[in-house]
Every structure is written in C-alpha cells, then in structure tokens.
C-alpha cells in the first residue's frame, strides 16, 4: 500500500485507542488476532461499521490466560474510540468524556500513529460476510449492560438449561481449555448481566416470532443470528452458542415458509450460515496469533458430529428442498452450496430417499422442482464487493 493511500485510510478509518494494555495480552478484532507488544496502543484504519473486539490477558510466564472478554463497537468514519486498561479488574474500560476528547485530538494529530497497528484490510471482506446484517440497532438491542461478554460468568445463568452431551462437552471445553481455572474463579459472577437475546420457544411459529419480537423485520432476526455466532466464535460465549442454535433450529425446522411466504428470508439465512460455517471450519487458515496459544476463532469439528442437531436439521431441510414443487432460484443455489460445504468440510453424508440426489437434478428430469426466480429488485443483502 502506497503512503498516500495509507494516509487516507488513517484519516477516514476509525481508530481504536487501547491504553496501558499489558504486554503478551491476546487481542482480537473481527477475524484478526495478535499478541500485544510493548509499544502497542491500539488499531488504526478500521473500516466504519460494526466490529467485535476481544482479549485475554496473560500471566507473566505466558502460560495462563484470563477468560476471554469481548465487546461490540459500531465505528463511524474517522471516529476515535478510547479504552484504558484497568489493572485491578483486568478489563478495558471507558474513559471520561474529557479524556476521550483529549485523546481523540491526539490521535487525529497523529501523535499515537507509530504505536497503532493497522487493521488488516485484506481480511475485511471475510468479516463483512459475517457481519453484513449487524447494524447499530442490532447491537444495542442485544448487548449486555456494560457491553462485556465472557463465558467465565455465564455458568450461573445457563447451568439449569437443558443441554445435550455435545453442549456439555462444549461448556467444559470453553471453561477449561481456553484459560486457567484460577483466572476464571476470579471473575465476579454477581456483576454479570447477560445479552438480551430473543427468547425462542420450541413450539412457537416463525411468523409469530418475527412479528412479535422483531416487528416483522427479517434483517433484525438475521442480525441476531450473526451477533450470536460472532459472540460464540470470537467471544467464546456458551450463551451465544445456545442462542445461535435456537435460531438455526427455528429456521431449519420450517416446512412451508421457505417456499411460500419467506423465500427471501431463507435465502439470506442459508447464505449467512454458509459463510459462518465456511469461515469457522476452514483448516488451512493461519491464525495471526504470535504466541501460538490461547484463543482460536476456528470451530472444533467435534462440536458438529454426524449425530448433532445441525446434521439432523440440515438433512431434513435438504430433503424438503428436494421434494418442493417450486423453489426460489437463489435459495436452491445457496442450499446446494451449504450441502457441498458440509460434505467436503465435515465428511457428512446426506442420503436421500430417492435414487437420485435431489439437489443435483439433470436438466431433463421430469421430477425436478421448478426453479422460480423471485422479483428481488428491492432485495439488497449488503454484501461487500
């Protein structure tokens, strides 16, 4: 990147000023992770829009890590967001308005520039696909009081909720393998206030939930799906995983709406979870984590065994699409892509009740579903170019 282009990004991109963060702290923003060095004071050239920041402080020997803490921001053009490390609480906290204004002017005068690491713009498109429905409104509706999300203080909130064997294993993995038990015990659970996720009753219909809880807005629902996935994957939140599972189960369990009343919603949904799983399951991605330890933003394949909820629901949904008489063209295309992704990444097999795989009909097959191209002139998925 030439100096003039870089300067434009510095001036018009947002800046996250992070003061007094201890060396060796693991820090992430969106899909990027790194280890804090001695001169680090934040991140510059951040594209305007939604972002997720998460961190885990290290012991002096670098072998133990505190619970991961994450929070969402929605950055405006040239905005300076300031957080300062609280040594006693081991948290990034907000500063006073007076301090924020003073630090903002210093950032805009480039006084901190040599201490700011650049946002890796080559990874932005990947992040955009994970967050293109994550508006400021979605974040404000869901984020907890104080904004911090951490699995270490969720056990009290979710211990009484029914969980499968896989979810119990996930809970144990999140609470033990990612940080030390002693650090986890130091978290004050009494201060924890969970995210304001929408309650998804097992027996309630999609249409009633959409109208009652989302005001009829499909994008708010998809936004919550993205928020919960990001909070789970980057923030290591079990509460978020359970919400993501509830929303996925709700949508994949529908048998009529995908083909009649909510075809565009389901096209958006299948496309969103396709990119979520494509990102989370990639094996050849190099983590930008210099320490090589601590947090991983990749999914563990053991969470998605062949007897998992996702396999069962996808198998039923793929069969539903196969048997449908009329299918929206985009929905069919993204469903095919999701099926292929799960087969290649996880080795899943989706045996159909037919001699042919209904997702790949021959052109002259008289039993193939009719592909109907919907009028979507007003349909904008806001995907990054």
DSSP-assigned states of every residue in 76-126: PTT-EEEEEEETTTTEEEE--HHHHHHHHHHHHTTTTGGG-EEP-GGGHHH
Determine the pLDDT at residue 194: 83
Strand order of the β-sheet with 14-19 is 91-94, 80-86, 14-19, 42-46, 117-118
Q: How many CB atoms lie within 10 A of CB 26?
A: 24
Determine the pLDDT at residue 153: 65
Per mean pLDDT, which range of 100-104, 135-139, 147-151, 298-302 is the poorest? 298-302
Q: Indicate the pTM of the whole model.
A: 0.84
Is the sign of the CA dihedral 166, 248, 281, 234 positive or negative?
negative
Q: Are 82 and 100 in contact (CB under 8 A)?
A: yes
User: What are the residue ranges spanned by the domains of the chain?
Assistant: 1-131, 152-179+192-283+303-351
| Three-state DSSP string of 191-236 | HCCCCCCCCCCCCCCHHHHHHHHHCCCHHHHHHHHHHHHHHHHCCC
Average pLDDT of the segment spanning 122-145: 94
Determine the pLDDT at residue 357: 41
Determine the pLDDT at residue 376: 46
Q: How far apart are CA 193 and CA 261, in angstroms?
A: 36
Architecture of the structural domain at 152-179+192-283+303-351: Alpha Horseshoe (1.25)
Can you tell me which residue has the tokens 């159909």? Answer: 352
Q: How many CB atoms lie within 10 A of CB 180?
A: 15
Q: How far apart are CA 385 and CA 382, in angstroms?
A: 9
Q: How far apart are CA 259 and CA 74, in angstroms?
A: 35
pLDDT of residue 159 exceeding 60:
no
Q: How far apart are CA 247 and CA 185, in angstroms?
A: 31
Determine the pLDDT at residue 80: 95
Q: Are 324 and 369 in contact (CB under 8 A)?
A: yes
Quickly state the pLDDT bin for 371 (edges 50, 70, 90).
low
Average pLDDT of the segment spanning 120-134: 94
**Residues with Cβ within 8 Å of residue 49, at least 6 apart in sequence:** 74, 75, 128, 131
Q: Which is more confident, 292 or 70?
A: 70
Q: How far apart are CA 318 and CA 208, in angstroms?
A: 24
Q: Parallel, antiparallel, or unpaired for β 117-118 and 91-94?
A: unpaired
Q: How far apart are CA 21 and CA 83, in angstroms?
A: 9
Q: How far apart are CA 205 and CA 100, in angstroms?
A: 46
* % pLDDT > 70, the chain: 71
Burial class from Cβ neighbours inside 10 Å (0-12, 13-18, 19+) for residue 235 reads buried
Average pLDDT of the segment spanning 67-75: 93
Q: Which is more confident, 243 or 369?
A: 243
Would you say domain 1-131 falls under CATH 3.30.2320.80?
no
pLDDT of residue 368 exceeding 60:
no
pLDDT in tens, 204-254: 899 999 999 999 999 999 999 999 999 999 998 889 999 999 999 999 999
pLDDT of residue 167 exceeding 70:
no
HSE-CB at 31 with a 13 A cutoff on CA atoms is 22
pLDDT in tens, 308-327: 889 999 999 999 998 888 89
Q: How far apart are CA 47 and CA 74, in angstroms?
A: 10
> How far does CA 116 lie from the centroid of its chain?
25
């Amino acid at each position: 990147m030439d100096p003039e282009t870089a300067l434009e990004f510095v001036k018009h991109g947002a800046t996250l000023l992070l003061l007094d963060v201890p060396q060796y702290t693991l820090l992430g923003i969106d899909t990027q992770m790194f280890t804090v060095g001695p001169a680090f004071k934040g991140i510059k050239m951040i594209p305007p829009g939604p972002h997720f920041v998460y961190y885990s402080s290290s012991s002096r020997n670098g072998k133990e890590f505190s619970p991961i803490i994450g929070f969402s921001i929605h950055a405006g053009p040239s905005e300076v967001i300031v957080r300062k490390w609280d040594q006693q609480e081991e948290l990034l906290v907000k500063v006073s308005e007076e301090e924020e204004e003073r630090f903002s002017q210093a950032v805009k005068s480039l006084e901190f520039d040599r201490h700011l690491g650049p946002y890796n713009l080559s990874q932005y498109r990947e992040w955009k696909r994970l967050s293109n429905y994550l508006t400021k409104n979605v974040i404000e509706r869901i984020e907890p009081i104080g904004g911090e999300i951490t699995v270490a203080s969720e056990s009290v909130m979710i211990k009484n909720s029914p969980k499968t064997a896989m979810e119990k294993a996930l809970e144990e993995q999140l609470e033990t393998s990612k940080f030390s038990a002693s650090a986890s015990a130091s978290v004050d659970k009494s201060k924890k206030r969970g995210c304001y996720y929408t309650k998804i009753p097992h027996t309630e219909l999609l249409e009633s939930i959409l109208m009652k809880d989302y005001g009829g807005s499909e994008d708010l629902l998809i936004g919550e799906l993205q928020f919960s996935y990001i909070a789970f994957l980057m923030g290591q939140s079990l509460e978020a995983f359970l919400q993501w599972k509830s929303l996925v189960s709700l949508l994949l369990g529908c048998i009529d709406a995908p083909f009649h009343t909510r075809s565009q919603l389901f096209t958006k949904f299948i496309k969103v979870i396709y990119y979520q799983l494509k990102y989370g399951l990639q094996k050849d991605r190099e983590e930008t984590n210099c320490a090589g330890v601590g947090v991983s933003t990749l999914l563990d394949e053991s969470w998605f065994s062949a007897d998992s909820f996702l396999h069962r629901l996808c198998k039923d949904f793929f069969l539903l699409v196969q048997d449908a008489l009329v299918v929206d063209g985009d929905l069919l295309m993204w469903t095919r892509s999701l099926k292929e992704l799960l087969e290649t990444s996880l080795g899943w097999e989706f045996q159909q009740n037919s001699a042919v795989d209904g997702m790949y009909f021959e052109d002259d097959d008289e039993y193939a579903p009719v592909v109907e191209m919907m009028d979507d002139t007003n349909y904008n998925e806001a995907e990054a170019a």
